[in-house]
Amino acid sequence: MIYKVESKSSELTPVQQYYKGKTVFITGASGFMGKVLLEKLLYSCYELKEIIMICRAKRGKTPEQRLEDMWKLPIFQRIKDERPEVLKKVTMFNGDITLEMLGLSEENLKHVTENTNIVFHMAATLKLEGNLTDAVNMNLAGTRRAIDVARKMKNLEAFVHLSTAFCNCDQEVMYEKVYDFPHKPEELMRIAEWMDVPTLDAVTPKLLPPHPNTYTYTKRLAELYVRDQYETMPVIIARPSIVSPAAYEPLPGWVDNLNGPTGLMIGCGKGVIRSVLVDKKNKSELIPVDYAINGLVVIPYEFNKGKRPEEIPVYNITNAEHRKKAIGDIIEMSKRVNEAYPLDAGLWYPDPCLTTNKLYHKFNTILFHWLPAYFIDFLLLIFGQKRFMVRVHKKIATGLEVLQFFTLNPWCFKSEKYAALWTNLTEKDKEIFNMNMDPVHTEEEYMISCAKGGRLFMLKEKPENQARARFHLKLMYILDRVCKTFIVYYFFKYLLKWTGVLDLF
Cβ-count burial 401-425 (b if 16+ within 10 Å, e if not)? eebbbbbeeebebebebbbebbeeb
Question: What's the pLDDT tens digit per position in 433-455?
Answer: 998 876 556 778 888 898 889 88
Q: Report H helices in 415-465.
A: 416-423, 427-432, 443-453
CB of 201 closer than 8 Å to CB of 134: no
- Give the Cβ contact number of residue 469 at 10 Å: 17
Longest dimension (CA), the chain: 91
What is the helix (H) or strand (E) element at residue 135, kind and residue range?
helix 132-135
Q: CA of 198: how far to CAs of 133, 134, 135, 202, in Å?
A: 10, 12, 14, 6
**Per-residue pLDDT reduced to its tens digit, 304-337:** 998 899 999 999 999 887 778 888 888 888 888 8
> Given this model, what pLDDT does residue 494 score?
82
478/182 Cα distance (integer angstroms): 56
C-alpha to C-alpha distance for 498 and 505, rounded to whole angstroms: 14
C-alpha to C-alpha distance for 286 and 283, rounded to whole angstroms: 9
Q: Tell me, what's the pLDDT at 439?
A: 59
**Taking residues 233-250, what's their average pLDDT?**
94
Count of other CB atoms within 10 angstroms of residue 305: 12
Using CB atoms within 10 A of its CB, is residue 285 exposed (0-12), middle (13-18) or buried (19+)? Answer: buried
| Residue (of 84, 105, 83) closest to 96 by Cα position | 105
CA angle 99, 118, 58 (to 5 degrees): 35
Q: What is the pLDDT of residues 327-385, one digit of tens each?
A: 888 888 888 888 888 888 888 888 888 999 999 999 999 988 999 899 999 999 999 99
**Mean of per-residue pLDDT scores for the chain:** 91
d(CA 373, CA 367): 10
Enter the pTM of the model: 0.92
The band of 5, judged by pLDDT with boundaries at 50, 70 and 90, is low
Rounded Cα distance, 97 and 266, in Å: 31
Q: Output DSSP code: residue 440.
A: S
Query: Per-residue pLDDT tens for 161-207?
Result: 999 999 999 999 999 999 999 999 999 999 999 999 999 999 999 99
| Cβ–Cβ under 8 Å, residues 73 and 35 | yes
Residue 382 C-beta-side C-alpha neighbours within 13 Å? 6
pLDDT at 489 over 90: no
- Whether the per-residue pLDDT at 390 is higher than 70: the answer is yes
Close Cβ partners of 87 (under 8 Å, ≥ 6 residues apart): 42, 71, 76, 79, 80
Report the alpha-carbon distance of residue 316 to residue 438 in Å, rounded. 18
Cβ neighbors of 389 (< 8 A, separation 6 or more) are 372, 373, 374, 376, 377, 380
Q: How confident is the model at residue 503 (pLDDT cuts 50, 70, 90)?
A: low
Q: Output the pLDDT for position 3.
A: 54
Homologous superfamily of domain range 14-240: NAD(P)-binding Rossmann-like Domain (3.40.50.720)
Quick check: 1 pLDDT over 60?
Answer: no
Q: Is the pLDDT of residue 285 over 60?
A: yes
Q: Where in the chain is the domain with CATH 3.40.50.720?
A: 14-240
CA 67 to chain centre: 21
